[in-house]
DNA sequence: ACCCTGACCCAGG
DNA sequence: ACCTGGGCCAGGG
């Protein structure tokens, strides 16, 4: 089954899961997003890089959008924990309300000032180094 | 079948 | 320091 929280992503040495053009990209993005610890955040680019597609950060945002539309509740995929490289909540407009993203983060202990994550550097969780 | 756009990011001028 | 363009994958008109 190799699904849930066990994406043997990274390169396709023996199991090409994130091969470009395979359509598995979205699924892999969701898998990584589910691994983001509560109270931490990561970026589109970090996830893309972890999947071996460093230039596909836009697709990560696209995948988050899809996940959110399918499950507006944060249960399935914690889309609110994915921000841009500057710590800005660039995807806030795609949540039920423009403030939902910030509210969900604050409810996990992540402080948000305006549209930016406070202490972004400390809160940052990089799948490339921590996974 | 072509063209455009997107919750991004980096390099170049 | 600001602006521009290319690249990535997928979906919509």
Q: What is the mean pLDDT of residues A20-26?
A: 69
Question: With 90 as the cut, is the pLDDT of residue A4 above it?
Answer: no
pLDDT of residue A62: 93
Strand B bases with any atom < 7 A from protein Cβ: 6-10
Q: What value does the CA radius of gyration of chain A take, rounded to a whole number of Å? A: 14
pLDDT of residue A19: 47
Q: Which two tokens stand for residue A68?
A: 């959110």
pLDDT of residue A20: 47
* Residues of chain A above pLDDT 70, percent: 82
| Mean pLDDT for chain A overall | 84
Strands (E) in chain A, as ranges, are: 42-43, 82-83, 112-113, 116-117
Distance A109 CA to B5 C1' (A): 35
Q: Which residues fall inside 7 Å of strand B, measured at CB?
A: A 43-46, 48, 55, 57-62, 64-65, 67-68, 79-80, 82, 84-86, 90-91, 93-94
Tell me if A41 sits within 8 A of A79, measured CB to CB. no
Question: With 80 as the cut, is the pLDDT of residue A9 above it?
Answer: no
């Amino acid at each position: 089954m190799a699904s849930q929280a066990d994406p043997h992503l990274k390169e396709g040495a023996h199991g090409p899961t994130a091969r470009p053009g395979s359509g598995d990209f979205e699924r892999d993005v969701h898998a990584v997003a589910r691994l983001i610890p509560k109270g931490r955040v990561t970026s589109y680019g970090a996830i893309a890089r972890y999947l071996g597609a460093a230039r596909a950060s836009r697709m990560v945002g696209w995948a988050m959008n899809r996940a959110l539309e399918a499950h507006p509740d944060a249960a399935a995929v914690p889309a609110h924990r994915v921000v841009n490289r500057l710590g800005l909540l660039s995807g806030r407009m795609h949540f039920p309300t423009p403030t939902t993203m910030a509210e969900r983060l604050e409810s996990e202990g992540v402080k948000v000032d305006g549209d930016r994550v406070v202490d972004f550097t400390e809160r940052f969780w990089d799948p490339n180094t921590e996974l």
